[in-house]
């Protein structure tokens, strides 16, 4: 009973007007075909990721955000070579705070290890994080303002975050926007939800080859997808099937070649020499399973309110 009370206290601080929070997410996907530019060869990308969020309540206004994320991408970086797995593991450590009825903040530190994990050294360790300011305009509408930043193998990358969350009065239509990083628009028909989503990601992985200069892969990916979702166990377990298109370009560079600054889709001071052919985008299929904690669903049964 006590753990559910803690969740009831922390979830409004994390979501602020959403009536749920995703505690666990697992996904597996594969592109159908990615061609190498100016080469009679192609590859495909297999991806697996899992994300866990565990809140720890400090008091009624503040809570620690803890958790971890793991991802694995498997592909050929060069034509006619062996497939290589690129891994990323990050820890989430942050603070969610509610200051007034309308204003709340979330600040999260994201240290990570990202490489092929062939040999893990201190050079595979990077630090990033994000900060969000949220304004609760109405019970069903919030605005988000913030920024994300991360030290990568290619240099420092940052992007502003502007978005909103909206839930229609009948609770069927939902918009969850954090641009330019992610967007999700969906409509629920009872136990089935149909939606469109977008995810933009930029990250790097240090590469280790025997008898070779130290390298890194610079991933720039934009994913657009349509999905069908089956809502089970009172919408607490979500099973999602997605079909879409992803740019998935993994550019390989020498480790000593960096950019001055990356801001959203722009790179400043980028005079690097790419070592592998560019990889074209491709269509992909993906399956996801999500454990979603429903605030309203638990409120009338297992969670005692503070009123």
Residue 229: per-residue pLDDT: 97
Instruction: Give the H or E element holding residue 10.
Output: helix 2-15
**In this model, does residue 294 exceed pLDDT 80?**
no
pLDDT for 60 equals 86
Confidence label for 202 from pLDDT (cuts 50, 70 and 90): confident
Whole-number mean pLDDT of the chain?
88
* Cβ pair 44, 282 in contact under 8 A: yes
Q: What percent of the chain has pLDDT over 70?
A: 90
pLDDT category at 298 given cuts 50, 70, 90 is very low
For residue 100, is pLDDT > 90? yes
Task: Supply the pTM of this predicted model.
Answer: 0.87
**How far is residue 292 from each of residues 11, 15, 190, 253, measured CA to CA in Å?**
11, 12, 16, 40
Average pLDDT over residues 76-89: 95
> Any residues with CB less than 8 A from the CB of 40 and at least 6 apart, and which?
none
pLDDT at 239 over 80: yes
Mean pLDDT over residues 184-190, rounded?
A: 96
Q: What is the pLDDT at residue 18?
A: 63
Q: What are 11-41's pLDDT values in tens digits?
A: 444 444 567 778 999 999 999 999 999 888 9
* Average pLDDT score over residue span 199-206: 90
Give the span between the Cα atoms of 75 and 207, in whole angstroms. 13
Least confident residue range of 69-73, 135-139, 284-288: 135-139
Cα 158 from chain centroid (whole Å): 15
Percentage of the chain modeled with pLDDT above 90: 70
Q: What is the 3-state secondary structure (H, E, C) of 16-65?
A: CCCCEEEEEEEEEEEECCEEECCCCCEECCEEEEEEEEEEEECCCCEEEE
**Cβ proximity of 169 and 273 under 8 Å:** no
Q: Rounded to an integer, what distance in angstroms lies between the CA atom of residue 22 and that of residue 290?
A: 7
């Amino acid at each position: 009973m006590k753990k559910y009370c803690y969740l009831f206290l922390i979830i409004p601080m994390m979501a602020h007007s959403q009536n749920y929070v995703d505690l666990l997410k697992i996904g597996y996907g594969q592109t159908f075909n990615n061609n190498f530019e100016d080469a009679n060869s192609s590859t495909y990308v297999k991806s697996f990721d899992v994300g866990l969020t565990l809140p720890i309540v400090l008091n009624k206004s503040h809570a620690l955000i803890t958790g971890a994320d793991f991802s694995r991408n498997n592909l050929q970086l060069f034509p006619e070579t062996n497939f290589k797995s690129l891994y990323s593991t990050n820890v989430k450590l942050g603070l969610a705070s509610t200051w007034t009825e309308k204003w709340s903040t979330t600040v999260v530190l994201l240290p990570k290890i990202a490489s092929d994990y062939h040999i893990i050294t201190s050079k595979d360790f990077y630090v990033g994080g994000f900060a969000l300011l949220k304004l609760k305009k109405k019970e069903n509408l919030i605005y988000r303002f913030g920024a994300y930043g991360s030290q990568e193998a290619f240099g420092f990358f940052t992007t502003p975050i502007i978005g909103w969350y909206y839930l229609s009065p009948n609770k069927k239509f939902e918009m969850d926007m954090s641009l330019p990083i992610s967007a999700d628009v969906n409509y629920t028909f009872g136990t089935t939800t149909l939606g469109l989503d977008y995810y933009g990601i930029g990250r790097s992985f240090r590469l280790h080859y025997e008898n070779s200069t130290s390298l890194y892969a610079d991933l720039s990916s934009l994913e657009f997808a349509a999905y069908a979702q089956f809502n089970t166990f009172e919408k607490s377990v979500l099973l999602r099937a997605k079909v879409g298109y992803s740019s998935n370009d993994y550019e390989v560079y020498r480790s000593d070649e960096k950019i001055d600054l990356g801001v959203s889709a722009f790179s400043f001071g980028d005079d690097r020499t790419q070592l592998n052919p560019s990889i074209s985008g491709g269509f992909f299929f993906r399956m996801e399973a999500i454990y979603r904690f429903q605030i309203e669903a638990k409120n009338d049964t297992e969670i005692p309110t503070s009123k």
